Structures are given as structure tokens and as C-alpha cells.
Structure 1
Amino acid sequence: MGPDLLARLSRFAARDLRPGAGDRPHRPALWAFVAHDCERLAEMRIERTALIVVLEGSKELTDPSGTTRLFPAGSAMLLPPGWHGAVVNDPGSGGRYRALLLEFPAEMVRRLLRAHGNDGLTSRPRPSDWRVTLTPVLTDAIHHAAVGLTADPPLPTKLAEHRCMEVLLALLEDGVWWLGPVSPTGTADAVRQLMRTQPGMAWTAERVAGALNLSAGTLRRRLGDEGCSVRSILTEERVAHARDLLEREGLSVQEAAEACGYANRSHFARRIRTAVGVNPSTLRGR
């Protein structure tokens, strides 16, 4: 990234504005990390898709395998949910470490992948490097999103989210496919990833098993060992999808029911009430 592009983003990291405990809103968020002393975090876990741009100093990431990667000023990384390892934020000779972190909630990433596809996600390995290229298009998108997230008075929520969706689209266009969880930690996790982009499909144990190159019996046994089933996972994913459609996109209850694979609106309403304790109509426009 050239000096001009770096300067455009630097103004959003004038002071340390990092999240504290519980500071994870149900929407995209922009954080700034500023440090004058070397910071060493023995264990860090990423819960939401995180795009990190190093503005000054350098960042080191060490995976559980022991592999260490260095990210100098002007570089960026995309860490997916579930990443964990050791982190070092080093001010270096300049005496200051600065970085921007743009976080995306799971439902936003789910909408993007559902709309634009993530073919083969469950079968792909972890990327060899979490690095992303800060092209002018991506940097423009990050800058546009940062302006929207820090606007005073605040932009309408949907407009700010639209700007952040541009960042995700730019990443996807550049081949950054690991926006969502990668390298499933178990069969249940793999099933969730498979269903997440098509929650309205009539998933059966046979269909899921075929997609994961397993027999239906093996699939049921493994899920049973993990304390769940195809039906329970499908219900969880459909409820999450329904909340997204009702709360964020303002669809009608009938439209949300159909998008989630429920032909019977009453059945859909019962599922939502059981999961979240309120009627689907109550969720609209929250």
C-alpha cells in the first residue's frame, strides 16, 4: 500500500480505541489500536470476521502449529472466526504501533456468502497465509466504510452496513474466500457451514452425508457423539437466518418462512417462539 493510501486510513487511528469486555455490537465495528510499548498476547481468539490493517510498526501472528507470520506497516490480514494463536504488536524503531480493525458480524458474512457463493468452503484447507492485498479498490472500500462508521451525526444503520458490505465484496473479488469459519473442528461444524449458505434447502441426512463424502450412518453417529443431529443443526441455522431476514432486512413473516424452507407459516412461528421466546412479527424491524 502506497503512502497516500496509508495516510487516508491513518486518520482513523489517531488514538487508541480498542474494544473492551463485552464491546461487540450486533453490527460492523471499527476499532483503532495504538501502542508505544511492545504488546505480547499469549492467546488471542477471533470471534468475528476481522480485517486488520497495520499502519505503523508490525504485527506477528503465531498459529498453534508454531508458524509465525510478520505483517509490517502497509500490510493487512483477514482473520476468520475461530482463529486463535499468539500475537505481538511491535512499535519497532518508529516508537509507535498503530492498526485499524474492522469487524463484521456473522449474519453479514452469511448474507454475502449466501448471495455470492462459497462453493467448496467445507472442503478447503486453511489458507497458507492470512494476508490480503490492499489494492486501491479495497482501500477505497475500507476508507468509505470507516467514514460511515465514524460519521457524526451517525449514518443510518443500513447505509453504514452497505458500506461495510462493499469491503467484504472487494475481498471476495480478490479471492479471499476464508471470510467465514474455516477448517471445521468437527462434523457438526462442517454441517453448519454446509447449511449456512442454503438454509432453505430441504436438507436430509442423506443429502448432507453426500455433500461431505460420508455415509448417512457415519454422519448420524458422528453427530450423535457431538450431541446434535442434522435436524437440530438445520433448525439452528434456519432460526439464525430468519432473525437476519426479519430484523435486518425487514421481510414479512411469510417471506422469511419461505426463505427458510417452511411451507407452513404456523410451524415457522412455533420454531421462532421456541428458539427466541417471541413471535416472528415481533422481530421485524428491531
Structure 2
Amino acid sequence: MPIDTIAQKILQIIGSPPAEGHNSIFPLSTVYSTTQHTMRSVIAPQTIALLVLQGTKILTLQAESIRLHVGDMFMIPPQIEFTVENIPEADTGQYLALCLTFDEKMLARVGALKNNESNLSPQRASMFRFLMTSDLDAAIETVLNSIANYPQNHHLRSLYQEAVLTIIGEETSCVPYLWEQAQSWQARCAFLFSMDPGYRWTITEVAERLGVGERSLRRHLQAEDIGFRELLQATRLNAALNRLQLGTENVGEVAYRCGYESASRFAGLFKQRFGITPSELLRAYAVSEYSLTES
């Protein structure tokens, strides 16, 4: 299925034209924009396969930048910070990317098939990049058709989704690393946080949900060079970034839903992390009908 056909299929599912920002029908989501913008320190709570359909995306991991063009795919590991730049194409003035999310169980099953391969270092962003193949194209088409034709059949969708991941595992050797990263304690905690970023999470409750003692969880996170509060704040801010990209809430609403009582404090932390204010992000996605107030 040509890239243009994939884009048309997505538009049939999520609406045409899509709302600017982040549109989602789990496990499929899209990012659509008509304005070039850059965000730093962006993390994903789960593994994402990204396919560029229009425009260009630049992903930077430390000193290495990867420029993704139409038809390029990239596996985004959980809890790894990237700088992201979305650039609309010159002809249409649009940027559009497809994202497929994979949970830890899928990664475990597919990763087990590749457990004799060496894990990758997350320092090399190029190792997560690969090109669309005919088999992968057909598998993605099947996922899209299942969402369009059987929107309530989550089991069927999951089977087709795992088929996509299995093919990706044949095209790239990064799946063992992705599996390992998804099992990290910070990834497990972040996944819990992302389910309800506005909740007043405590380390005692999180440890209980993960089936470990509080002191053990602190040690595990310390071994991964991150603290509980630092991880919680990073997850909340990234959840806020996704909500702002949806374009359905103003800054104050997003701040509250992500656990911040003060919109001005939230805006300051957001700017400090991503290098862009919430208002600037909303303007980048042309959400003019919503308030851009930050205080």
C-alpha cells in the first residue's frame, strides 16, 4: 500500500482533515501539524513505531540527529529523551506521522525470539531507523483495516499489531533493547503515572502496585539514575505535552489534569523541559479557538 494510500486510510479512520496535534485511536495515533516546531527532552511511556507520511521529522539523541523522510520508520524506546522537530512539507504545508504503540507483553514475546542477539546501546539513534518493506506495509494495512472494520475487536487488533512488531524484529535488531528498556523500573513507574498523571502518586502506592517494597523501588530507580519525584514530574510534563497537542483543552485545564494546581508554575516547568511554552505549542498546532492563558 503506497504511503499516500496509508495516509488516506488514516484520514478515513480519524477524520479528514485531522485535527491538528495528536489524534489517537489506540494503538494507532497520528501527529499532524502545519507549523514547524521543536521540542526537547521528549519521552514516550511505551515503545512507539513511527512512520512519516508527510513532511520531515528530525530526532536527536544526544549528539546524533536522524532526519526521517516520507516512508522512513523509527522505533522510539520508552523513557529515552529525544529532541523532536516536525517540519511540514513544502508542497502541502503539512506534517503527518503514524504512530503504533506496543506494550511490554508484546515486546516480551517478540523479544524472546531475538534473545540471542546483542542489545543495542541507546546512544546510537540510527539503529532504531529502518525503511518500509512490502511485508511491513501489508501488516500495517491489516492493522488499519481492522481498526476501520472492527473497531471494537481489540483482540484482533492486538494480533495484527503484534504481527507488525514481529516483522519489525526481522528488519531491525533493536527489539531486544526495546524489550529490556520496557522492563526498566522507570518505564514501569512511568506507565502507571501516564494512566492518571493528575493523581497524587506516592512511592508507597507505586511500590505496592509493582509488587516490591518501597526501599527496593527507591534502590531500583537509583540504580537507573533517576529519582521518584523527578520521574513523576517528567511523566506529567510529557503527558501534558500530548494533551496540548490534542488541542481540546487550554493551558490551565491541561495543568490541572496533569497534577499542577498553578498554571503559571506548570508553564515555567514546561518551558524549562521542552524549550517551548505551552502557549507556543498550542500556536504551533494552530489551536486558536482555545484560551492560551498561562496564569
TM-score, L = length of structure 1: 0.56
> Alignment partner for residue 168 of structure 1, among 165, 174, 182?
165
2:47 corresponding residue in structure 1: 49
Amino acid at match of 2:105: E
Query: In 2, are the aligned partners of 1:82 and 1:181 still within 8 Å (CA)?
Result: no
Between the aligned partners of 1:47 and 1:81, the Cα distance in structure 2 is 5
Q: CA RMSD in A?
A: 3.3
Task: Kindly state the Cα deviation for residue 170 of structure 1 after the two structures are TM-superposed.
Answer: 0.7
Query: In 2, are the aligned partners of 1:17 and 1:32 still within 8 Å (CA)?
Result: no
> Alignment partner for residue 29 of structure 2, among 31, 39, 43?
31
1:83-122 paired onto structure 2 within 5 Å = 83-94=80-91, 95-114=93-112, 116-121=113-118
1:227 corresponding residue in structure 2: 219
1:188-203 paired onto structure 2 within 5 Å = 189=184
In structure 2, the residue corresponding to 1:137 is in which secondary structure?
Answer: helix
Query: In 1, are the aligned partners of 2:55 and 2:88 still within 8 Å (CA)?
Result: yes
In the comparison of the two structures, how many residue pairs are matched? 185
Task: Kindly state the Cα deviation for residue 72 of structure 1 after the two structures are TM-superposed.
Answer: 1.2
> Alignment partner for residue 6 of structure 1, among 3, 24, 35?
3
Amino acid at match of 2:134: P
Between the aligned partners of 2:163 and 2:67, the Cα distance in structure 1 is 27
Query: In 2, are the aligned partners of 1:109 and 1:180 still within 8 Å (CA)?
Result: no
Amino acid at match of 1:57: G
Between the aligned partners of 1:106 and 1:29, the Cα distance in structure 2 is 13
TM-score, L = length of structure 2: 0.54
Q: Quote the sequence identity (%).
A: 18
53 and 62 in structure 1: CA distance in 2 versus 1, 3 angstrom threshold: same
2:67 corresponding residue in structure 1: 70
Deviation per CA, 1:230-266, whole angstroms, max 9, x where unpaired? xxxxxxxxxxxxxxxxxxxxxxxxxxxxxxxxxxxxx
In structure 2, the residue corresponding to 1:227 is in which secondary structure?
Answer: helix
Amino acid at match of 1:8: T
Larger radius of gyration: 1
33 and 225 in structure 1: CA distance in 2 versus 1, 3 angstrom threshold: closer
Task: Kindly state the Cα deviation for residue 87 of structure 1 after the two structures are TM-superposed.
Answer: 0.5
Of the structure 1 ranges 29-38 and 76-85, higher mean CA displacement relative to structure 2 is found in 76-85
Query: In 1, are the aligned partners of 2:33 and 2:88 still within 8 Å (CA)?
Result: yes
Runs (5+) with no aligned partner, structure 1: 193-222, 230-286
Between the aligned partners of 2:217 and 2:78, the Cα distance in structure 1 is 24
Task: Kindly state the Cα deviation for residue 225 of structure 1 after the two structures are TM-superposed.
Answer: 11
Query: In 2, are the aligned partners of 1:38 and 1:90 still within 8 Å (CA)?
Result: yes
Higher relative contact order (CA 8 A, sep 6+): 2
Task: Kindly state the Cα deviation for residue 68 of structure 1 after the two structures are TM-superposed.
Answer: 1.4
Deviation per CA, 1:63-88, whole angstroms, max 9, x where unpaired? 1x222111112211111212211101
Amino acid at match of 2:106: M
225 and 154 in structure 1: CA distance in 2 versus 1, 3 angstrom threshold: closer
In structure 1, the residue corresponding to 2:2 is in which secondary structure?
Answer: helix
166 and 70 in structure 1: CA distance in 2 versus 1, 3 angstrom threshold: same
Query: In 2, are the aligned partners of 1:58 and 1:90 still within 8 Å (CA)?
Result: yes
Amino acid at match of 1:93: A
2:121 corresponding residue in structure 1: 125
Between the aligned partners of 1:16 and 1:165, the Cα distance in structure 2 is 28
Between the aligned partners of 1:68 and 1:92, the Cα distance in structure 2 is 19
Task: Kindly state the Cα deviation for residue 98 of structure 1 after the two structures are TM-superposed.
Answer: 0.9
32 and 67 in structure 1: CA distance in 2 versus 1, 3 angstrom threshold: same
Amino acid at match of 1:29: P
1:284 corresponding residue in structure 2: none
Amino acid at match of 2:162: M
2:133 is equivalent to residue 141 of structure 1: no
Query: In 2, are the aligned partners of 1:62 and 1:87 still within 8 Å (CA)?
Result: yes
